[in-house]
Amino acid sequence: MLYHYPDNATVFELSNEDIIISLDQVPTWIKTSLTGKYLLQIMNTPRSLEELTESLSLHYDLPPEAVRPIIAKTVSRFVQEGIVQVEDGTPIIPRERQSIEDFHLQQVWFNITDACNLHCPHCFARQQKAQGFAPLHESLTFLKEAAQMEVDEIVFSGGEPTLHPQLMEILEGARGLRNWKVKLLTNGFMAGEEGGEARLMEICKLVDDVQVSIDGNNKSTHDLARGVVGSFERACKTVRIVASTGTQVGISFTPLPRNLKEIPKLYKLAIDLRANYIHLNRPKPPAAPNLFKETEQFTSEEFLGQVYSAYDELLIACHKSYEDMRGLPVKLPSVDSSFDPASELISPFKKLRCGAGILTMAVNYKGDAFPCAALTQERAYIGNVFSQGLPDISAKGRHMMLSLFSVDENEQCSKCSFRYYCGGGCRATAQDISACDCMCQIIQDRYIDFWEGLSLPIIRTGLGQESHGGKEVPQQRC
């Protein structure tokens, strides 16, 4: 049997001379050493295992029996991943990854009010003076449709959803419709109101996850970011109360130029509050740019780079805590890796675009639907679920996003070796929603850094995992 490397892969040379071989079309990648690189070079001409053994033995001046097992294992793995083809035999074609387009709507955000009790300059809700609340009957009908469409996760947000006078009825309705994940996003201010603690405990009986916005690890930073004195203490109290009920609770942090330095310290705060996880939101332009001296920074590669560095420091703090506190009765939080684009390298899915409008959708209190919670500009309006029904709106949103953008159709992305991992970035932060995200250099650097950090032997592609009809379903990771 002869093995042949047709040289149709992109090769990334890493700083320590290891290499990444990436098959763009599948997509899949493999990390290998100089030996692997040498093997591939000589397989430019079809070779048998014995010929490869002989060649490598001479190259490294080692006895053939010492290199034979390594060669057999490495070549077999190359074949399995489709990097090397078998001649005179049935060619093994790597299994195509599934695309997110193969899946139906997974997650619906329901922003049940635009009212809010805080004044965050970076938030879109603050810019809307109206105090609207989703009507109960229409809300329940819409939730029923989502359940019938087998949506897996429903996220209640706002504005501040705890201000909705019929929140409990809406949550009870959602809870009873389907065994799905019910999540509530809150600023945590309610915990300090009269009767707020008891109400929060009742909410916890109806939801699986409460995510509390905390934008600093002390009151001066958080209260400044949130515009109300005392909001930090209330948010922390909320996390503690939810944790005490056993319901999953997370800290959601929005990076701003003024709170950047506090990201690495979030781990300690999360431990103190007994939170389950920390989630960082990707920086987006502030809704009130005139209130920020540093507005341009929000959309700059430089700022995003600083945020990623701070995220890396947070991960280091997290790993150190795991070491220091191993065996102690301390609840250690996880850090949501979906913030890091490099996490896509180990996703088993091919990404022609992000999941906006396909895996996820956002509906406001009036029933107006958009492809995702961050993409609510006029151009992205899909229709109204209260009047048109979710099945029609979902089909329309899907079609709209499929027509809007694909890495294969975008001039810049179609030439990029990372396109099926990146999916062209975020539609909400792209300067034009139908264009490439433009943060390419920083995103590509994340991929290379991820590969650099892996030690050999590592052969990880995400393929070989069960997906369709099985357990693996793509999650929207923003």
Q: In angstroms, rounded to a whole number, what is the distance separating the alpha carbons of residues 185 and 154?
A: 11
CA 299 to chain CA centroid, Å, is 19
Kindly state whether residue 402 participates in binding ligand SF4, applying the rule CB under 6 A. no
Q: Which of 140, 427, 446, 474 binds ligand SF4 (CB under 6 A)?
A: 427
Span interacting with ligand SF4, options 113-121, 141-149, 163-171, 351-359, rule CB under 6 A: 351-359
Kindly state whether residue 184 participates in binding ligand SF4, applying the rule CB under 6 A. no
Kindly state whether residue 250 participates in binding ligand SF4, applying the rule CB under 6 A. no
- DSSP string computed for 297-341: HHT-HHHHHHHHHHHHHHHHHHHHHHHHTTTSS--PPEE-GGGSG
> Collapsing DSSP states into helix, strand and coil, what is residue 102?
helix
Kindly state whether residue 407 participates in binding ligand SF4, applying the rule CB under 6 A. yes
Instruction: For the CB of residue 425, give the shortest distance to ligand SF4 in the complex, in Å.
Output: 4
Instruction: For the CB of residue 282, give the shortest distance to ligand SF4 in the complex, in Å.
Output: 7
Burial status of residue 312 (CB atoms within 10 A of its CB: 0-12, 13-18, 19 or more):
middle
Question: What radius of gyration, in Å, describes the C-alpha atoms of the chain?
Answer: 25
Phi, psi of 167 (to 5 degrees): -55, -45
Q: Which of 354, 361, 382, 390 binds ligand SF4 (CB under 6 A)?
A: 354
User: Facing residues of 8 across strands?
Assistant: none
Q: Are strands 153-157 and 181-186 parallel, antiparallel or unpaired?
A: parallel
Kindly state whether residue 185 participates in binding ligand SF4, applying the rule CB under 6 A. no
Kindly state whether residue 448 participates in binding ligand SF4, applying the rule CB under 6 A. no
Span interacting with ligand SF4, options 12-20, 184-192, 207-215, 415-423, rule CB under 6 A: 415-423
Indicate the residue among 156 and 370 with the shorter CB distance to ligand SF4: 370
Kindly state whether residue 436 participates in binding ligand SF4, applying the rule CB under 6 A. yes
Indicate the residue among 57 and 412 with the shorter CB distance to ligand SF4: 412
Indicate the residue among 126 and 419 with the shorter CB distance to ligand SF4: 419
Q: Report how far apart the first and last C-alpha atoms of the chain are (Å, whole number).
A: 46
Q: Which of 3, 437, 446, 474 binds ligand SF4 (CB under 6 A)?
A: 437
Conformation bin of residue 26: beta by default, left when phi > 0, alpha when psi is -120 to 50: alpha
Please confirm whether the linkage preceding 46 is cis (ω < 30° from 0). no
Kindly state whether residue 397 participates in binding ligand SF4, applying the rule CB under 6 A. no
* Other C-beta atoms lying within 10 Å of the C-beta of residue 239: 25
CA-wise closest residue to 212 among 289, 153, 167, 160: 160
Stretch 50-89: interaction string toward ligand SF4, x if CB under 6 A: ----------------------------------------
Kindly state whether residue 338 participates in binding ligand SF4, applying the rule CB under 6 A. no
Stretch 358-377: interaction string toward ligand SF4, x if CB under 6 A: --x-----------x-xx--
Instruction: For the CB of residue 103, give the shortest distance to ligand SF4 in the complex, in Å.
Output: 14
- Helical residues (DSSP H) of 24-98, grouped into ranges: 34-42, 49-60, 64-80
Q: In angstroms, rounded to a whole number, what is the distance separating the alpha carbons of residues 370 and 372?
A: 6
Kindly state whether residue 424 participates in binding ligand SF4, applying the rule CB under 6 A. yes
Q: Which residues bind ligand SF4 (CB under 6 A)?
A: 354-356, 360, 372, 374-375, 407, 412-413, 416, 418-419, 422, 424-428, 436-437, 440, 443-444, 476, 478
